[in-house]
Structure 1
């Protein structure tokens, strides 16, 4: 009989859940774990060999319905209702088999966890009191979290945990943010000029949006090259392969070296951007600044104490609404957003000036370090949450007797 069922509804939620699973497996590999990702294919779980109990499918919205409700129409056209019903049926069919359900995300996985009738814990990874100074939870979410079957509420930051505790949610705690445990390097070597500040490009993970974002960032690199010498490295997803990079180079009038570099000239300066899908952690750790058009990856950059400059894209994910919310979440000491509409040449010029000012500000590194600690935290969250889950399981065994 499986001991744990993980429910999650989004890319970042799957990542956090999988890191907790990995920490649990490290301590107790005999513990039986299953999962049901509500959004996407569940690759993060599959990489760990965790069985998926029901159907999965990637929807056009990527689960980001709150950013653009119109994409719900596309999801519905692709069979969202039938998919959801089949997922609920799978969870309901196996509900009595699990000792504990772990809900990672918002009201959707929490409601499904409650539907099982089993004890559950909730990780509110998709919301924070930093957004508005006070956590605004839907009525249903509050009711479910106050249920006796909800044994623990994990928060993504200490500020949110303190806010919930002050409102009577005594089970709310902060143990750390698991995504900071996903930054161990894989030994990838970056051949860059050590005399030049390294600027990292984070274009996002969902195609074709990530390609459009990368093109915009490359144009910003050209603007920056007018002002000085910089090293650039893009942490791209594997789906942006050599064929895609060649097409990007042709669209922009650049050259592609056939391996991992996009090349052009700006005046008498040679500009090259390294594009690597195998060096995310190494690029982030070595960078002095990040040009960000992503969600979780930008959070990780802030956690590492890096300043981030955000450009506005055409979406569907990285729109002004998303970027502005992320700026409130992560703090203006670390994140600066340029413009309110998809970036135009004037916005790229402004972004270049902001980047230059940020790199020249001697107080910026320490402010970013302190802000990153407060907003995101240090590594170790996965193991800490896993430890709390073990405690809940042990308490459940005592209660069962």
Structure 2
């Protein structure tokens, strides 16, 4: 188990009386603790904190990643304006223990109970000082923020009423359940959002915000931070004459490697009648070292990188050029014509840029059939779920050959994900409603 608890400042960790120490040593600048529970939530949290840092450069910003190690925050921490705090641990499910009972058992066996207990104690110590908390995610960070006793804000990222109000597909039991409530959020979550200490509640779209307001929650929909910093860049000349496919295998190992094999197997079923480029951006994982044996086994050979494209290596199989690019998602995403994906947040971002996506659910623990179908409904069918590698190859050929269909699905995706600027609007709300008011 990895634990890298860092001092929260003053008496929050030391065991002294936090209120007394706060009166003596508390700096004039307010403090904020952000809770996030997943890779996508980490990314959204970082976007908001970047915008908030521009507004309040002297503010003490702390983040507690509840799932994984919060690698998304590493660069900001290195730059010195943000600090990760508290115990952190990579769990077998990658944070998706709610996907199945077996995943929950594996996480519990790996120490989930002890990890959650230590995180809860840290949040309680922070709350005793009266400093605010911003929770990003679903019930877990919301519950911790409420239990802290401090003022808090909540950004509910994973749930949207689009998942039960629109197609494609249906989930009869779940749809009826949400229809009876009038919201995908549950009554116990409404209560936590409507608490007098909840000074800000924001969700991902206006449809969901309206559903919550009918239940007494003052919910806002200021925009989607996931679409910020995703500018379309000019297409490099070497790629201009190739069909462009973005491949997203996810970031959780070993699932991402199994998914990469399946996506490449689907590509292999597509006849390479014309030059293609497959853009495979990754995060810190899977690494080039992880992916190279998979590419070699499929018959790819390494070649020189084309100029002006970025990436770490290039691989060729007949007329299909594949580029690996750690950290290249923001640069490459807008170049795609079609995406092949077994990912969460990155898939939503790709669709938000107007690139239709085909997904291929597998055994999980994250990207299972239920997850993929829900993602497709959330995004209005701009992500199409495929039943097999053969099905994916057929759908890919159809999309590449039909520009009008690609444009139609791309327009749906852009509408569902919303415009840019959500980070700045959310930072302004946090500044005004959570930080500017008297604490305690």
After TM superposition, is the score higher than 0.5? yes
Are 2:432 and 1:391 equivalent residues in the alignment?
yes
The range that moved more, 209-218 or 230-239, is 230-239
**Closer, same or farther in 2 for the Cα pair 1:97/1:47, shift >3 Å?**
farther
**Closer, same or farther in 2 for the Cα pair 1:363/1:55, shift >3 Å?**
same
Q: Contact between 2:200 and 2:434, CA under 8 Å: does it hold in 1?
A: no
2:85 is matched with which residue? 53
SS at match of 2:348: helix
Q: Partners in 2 of 1:63 and 1:163 — Cα distance?
A: 27
**Closer, same or farther in 2 for the Cα pair 1:93/1:34, shift >3 Å?**
same
1:308 CA displacement: 0.5
Q: Partners in 2 of 1:278 and 1:188 — Cα distance?
A: 18
2:332 is matched with which residue? 283
Are 2:175 and 1:122 equivalent residues in the alignment?
no
Q: Partners in 2 of 1:394 and 1:85 — Cα distance?
A: 27
Q: Contact between 1:105 and 1:123, CA under 8 Å: does it hold in 2?
A: yes
1:11 CA displacement: 1.0
Q: Partners in 2 of 1:90 and 1:190 — Cα distance?
A: 49
Q: 1:329 aligns with which of 355, 363, 378?
A: 378
Are 2:315 and 1:262 equivalent residues in the alignment?
yes
SS at match of 2:355: coil
Q: Deviations over 1:234-262 (max 9, x none)?
A: 11233333432331134334333486123
1:202 CA displacement: 0.6
Q: Partners in 2 of 1:251 and 1:188 — Cα distance?
A: 33
SS at match of 1:58: coil
1:349 is matched with which residue? 390
Q: Partners in 1 of 2:229 and 2:249 — Cα distance?
A: 18
Q: Deviations over 1:299-320 (max 9, x none)?
A: 0011101110111223221111
Q: Contact between 1:245 and 1:256, CA under 8 Å: does it hold in 2?
A: no
Q: Partners in 1 of 2:416 and 2:183 — Cα distance?
A: 15
Q: Contact between 2:251 and 2:286, CA under 8 Å: does it hold in 1?
A: no
Q: Partners in 2 of 1:231 and 1:281 — Cα distance?
A: 17
Are 2:216 and 1:173 equivalent residues in the alignment?
no
1:184 CA displacement: 4.9
2:72 is matched with which residue? 44
Q: Partners in 2 of 1:45 and 1:286 — Cα distance?
A: 26
SS at match of 1:282: helix
Are 2:251 and 1:205 equivalent residues in the alignment?
yes
SS at match of 2:163: coil
1:344 is matched with which residue? none
SS at match of 1:201: strand
1:342 is matched with which residue? none
Equivalent residue pairs, number? 385
Q: Deviations over 1:99-157 (max 9, x none)?
A: 32111111111111111111111111011111112523233211111111111210111
Q: Contact between 1:3 and 1:98, CA under 8 Å: does it hold in 2?
A: no
1:371 CA displacement: 1.6
1:316 is matched with which residue? 365
Are 2:421 and 1:380 equivalent residues in the alignment?
yes
The gaps in structure 2 that reach 5 residues or longer are: 1-25, 166-181, 305-311
The gaps in structure 1 that reach 5 residues or longer are: 340-346
